[in-house]
């Protein structure tokens, strides 16, 4: 049973511990941070004193002195997007597991990324993870000059200073293309929204390549662009696609739809259903992200799964690496994705996809 004598003095400092333990501040610091040599008995006395007084390091002072806080900055936009919150959740876990604390900034506009980074440097963070927005290269360089590593997740590499960890969009698009092909789709739709993120565009291009590589004629791939992101965007796209007509053709050539993200896919599916068209009977549908909702009974979306915890872990690895070696050339680290077979494009029985 630890007994705190009395919280008379509002805040207990290393000095107080030193006094009680009968040593100097320096010894206290060394003992508590396992840094420098301390005799076993001193250490014991310090630890006892610290416990007794309920001493806790002042991270502000510690950071000021070390020129580095145990903070890691995280930039995110629209946390209400299920994929984003899943990713941030993974990041928080990873950050805390490594003994850091997360300083989170929400941006509503890509432009704000830079400002966030600046504020992070003012806290002397140990690193920054950008999950949304594209920071201006100049500001990233500022960070690097302050020895603050910056890593992006699922975004374009902007300049030579920022590492990037990125789900393998190309592989994802290939998996989607292969699945749709194997399922017998003859025509294809790529669904994205206007002003899509870099990741979305990358997926679209990869899908295009994957299809043409499979010998699909260009006119068989249409692109649908919703005026806005999210569920509503997908819903809108469904109402403005002409899939309902082609699906009703006598010799219906099954259409395969690939979406830039999970929300678009959910919205699209609902929008089509509202018109009496459903997957996989009338068309096939594959989304990206594998958010929890895509697994819900009403959707059961076939989707490309992103390993968020791997993304998070590798991002932190990156920060760590680069902190040790700032001169390192910027890397792009791919993270594998997986195709999750669900109802909107069910698994096809073994079939060599060599067409």
Partner DNA sequence: TTGAAAGCGTTACCAA
Partner DNA sequence: TTGGTAACGCTTTCAA
Instruction: Using CB under 7 A, list all residues that contact DNA.
Output: 11, 13-15, 22-30, 32-33, 35-39, 41-42, 55-58, 61-62, 64-67
Choose between 79 and 348: whose C-beta lies nearer to its own copies.
79
Q: How far is it, in rounded angstroms, from Cα 81 to Cα 131?
A: 12
Cis peptide leading into residue 135 (ω within 30°): no
Choose between 21 and 330: whose C-beta lies nearer to DNA.
21
The item of DNA, its own copies, none sharing an interface with residue 86, based on CB under 5 to 8 Å by kind, is its own copies
Asked if 103 and 72 count as a contact pair (C-beta separation under 8 A), the reply is: yes
Asked if 258 and 191 count as a contact pair (C-beta separation under 8 A), the reply is: yes
Shortest distance, CB of residue 297 to its own copies, whole angstroms? 4
The item of its own copies, DNA, none sharing an interface with residue 85, based on CB under 5 to 8 Å by kind, is its own copies
Q: How far is it, in rounded angstroms, from Cα 211 to Cα 220?
A: 9
Shortest distance, CB of residue 91 to its own copies, whole angstroms? 9
The item of its own copies, DNA, none sharing an interface with residue 351, based on CB under 5 to 8 Å by kind, is none
Choose between 39 and 239: whose C-beta lies nearer to DNA.
39
Nearest 5°: the CA angle 314, 319, 324 is 125
Choose between 22 and 160: whose C-beta lies nearer to its own copies.
160
Choose between 42 and 154: whose C-beta lies nearer to its own copies.
154
Asked if 134 and 155 count as a contact pair (C-beta separation under 8 A), the reply is: yes
**With 0-12 CB in 10 A as exposed, 13-18 as middle and 19+ as buried, what is 303?**
buried
Asked if 156 and 189 count as a contact pair (C-beta separation under 8 A), the reply is: no
Shortest distance, CB of residue 214 to its own copies, whole angstroms? 32
The item of its own copies, DNA, none sharing an interface with residue 51, based on CB under 5 to 8 Å by kind, is none
């Amino acid at each position: 049973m630890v007994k705190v004598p009395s919280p008379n003095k509002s805040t207990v400092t290393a000095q107080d511990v030193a006094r009680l333990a009968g040593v100097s501040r320096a010894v206290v610091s060394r003992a508590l941070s396992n840094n420098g040599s301390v005799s076993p008995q001193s250490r014991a006395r310090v630890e006892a004193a610290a416990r007794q007084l309920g001493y806790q390091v002042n991270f502000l002072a510690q950071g000021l002195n070390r020129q580095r806080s145990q903070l890691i900055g995280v930039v995110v936009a629209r946390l209400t997007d299920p994929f984003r919150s899943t990713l941030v959740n993974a990041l928080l876990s990873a950050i805390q597991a490594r003994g850091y604390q997360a300083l989170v900034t929400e941006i509503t506009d890509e432009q704000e990324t830079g400002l966030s980074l600046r504020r992070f440097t003012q806290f002397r963070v140990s690193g920054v993870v950008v999950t949304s927005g594209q920071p201006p290269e100049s500001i990233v360089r500022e960070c690097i000059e302050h020895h603050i590593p910056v890593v992006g997740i699922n975004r374009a590499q902007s300049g030579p200073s920022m590492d990037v960890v990125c789900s393998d969009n190309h592989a994802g698009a290939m998996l989607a293309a292969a699945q749709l092909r194997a399922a017998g789709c003859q025509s294809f739709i790529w669904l994205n929204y206007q002003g899509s993120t870099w990741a979305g565009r990358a997926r679209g291009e990869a899908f295009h390549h994957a299809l043409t590589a499979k010998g699909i004629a260009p006119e068989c791939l249409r692109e649908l662009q919703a005026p806005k992101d999210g569920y509503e965007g997908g819903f809108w796209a469904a109402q403005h696609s002409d899939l309902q007509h082609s699906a009703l053709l006598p010799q219906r050539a099954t259409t395969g739809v690939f979406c830039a993200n999970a929300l678009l896919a959910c919205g699209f599916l609902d929008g089509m259903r509202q018109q009496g068209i459903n997957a996989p009977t009338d068309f096939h549908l594959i989304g990206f992200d594998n958010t929890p909702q895509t697994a819900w009974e009403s959707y059961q979306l076939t989707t490309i799964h992103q390993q968020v915890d791997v993304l998070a872990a590798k991002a932190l690895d990156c920060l760590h690496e680069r902190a040790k070696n700032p001169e390192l050339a910027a890397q792009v680290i791919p993270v594998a994705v997986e195709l999750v077979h669900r109802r909107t494009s069910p698994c096809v029985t073994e079939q060599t996809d060599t067409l």
